[in-house]
Structure 1
């Protein structure tokens, strides 16, 4: 944010990061936002139940 304030570029940050910041910058909201997510596991057969559930959720969401 300091570099953006000095005119050295742009930044793309989540809104939560920007809350309460005192920088002299202009915020522009983008309506359509996408993020790529990469997930790597050693063995799908050996992941914890919580990890398996998360992977199932991500795969279902990706197909929407």
Structure 2
């Protein structure tokens, strides 16, 4: 399992932004974090591979 100290500041910011209750689009996460869509997509893909987020279409929800 990922620990926050294992993450970059950007990754931590994205993870803290993602809701456990509602699906959020990449654009919404990008707007909230100030990161580009591309950076958010990259980090979200890494989180999805690690099982920390789930993806549905272009939206993400935190699972852990």
1 or 2, which has the higher strand percentage?
2
Q: What is the TM-score when the length of structure 1 is the normalising length? A: 0.30
Whichever of the two has the greater Rg, that structure is 1
Higher relative contact order, chain-length normalized (CA < 8 Å, sep 6+): 2
Return the TM-score normalized by structure 2.
Answer: 0.30
Q: Which has the larger share of helix? A: 2
